[in-house]
Copies of this chain bind each other. A is one copy, B any other.
């Protein structure tokens, strides 16, 4: 039904998740119901224009009508901005990418498959959430010790510790309030991006 508005609703969900805002919080700030938001994001229902602007306002989004002819130019701006999107350092992106690939190379490195799933989820979030300097340092240590096992799987005890520590970092980043951003230096983009 609502295939016409998919890109818009998907964009709404993406913006909300990037801001790490729950449907309920978005509901409280926008005036819409959590139920309503859920159905809009899933495409079950098409929002009215009024509801759309209410949600967009909370997510710091502006609704713009762009001539199709200008879409490539606009698209470039949007992409370049979302590329250096969050204030992630190049190092953080690289580390996440390396662990991600290490994880993909040998799924059998984990005795418990749920550990692999948990780790994968945590990494997906760490790909987008900024870490403080201390947190990044901790993350670097963890990643380095784990990445040492290339040919043979690491001891189970070690893996479990790693998964737990990563989840802890993830939670710290996730539950950090949107309002107090992570203090971070300005030089954001360096050499090549190592993401997968």
Nearest CB on B from A73, distance (A): 5
- Per the CB 8 Å criterion, the residue count for chain A at the interface is 33
How far, in whole Å, are A109 and B53 apart by their CA atoms in the complex?
49
In the complex, per-residue mask of A124-157: 1 if CB is within 8 Å of any chain B CB, else 0: 0000000000000000000000000000000000
Query: In the assembly, how many copies of this chain are there?
Result: 2
In the bound complex, residues from chain B placing their C-beta under 8 Å from that of A69 are 60, 81
Q: Which secondary structure dominates where chain A touches chain B?
A: helix
Complex contact A70–B66 (CB within 8 A): no
15 contacts between A and B (CB under 8 A): A4-B53, A8-B49, A11-B65, A15-B65, A48-B48, A61-B66, A61-B68, A62-B67, A63-B64, A63-B66, A64-B66, A64-B71, A64-B78, A66-B78, A74-B74
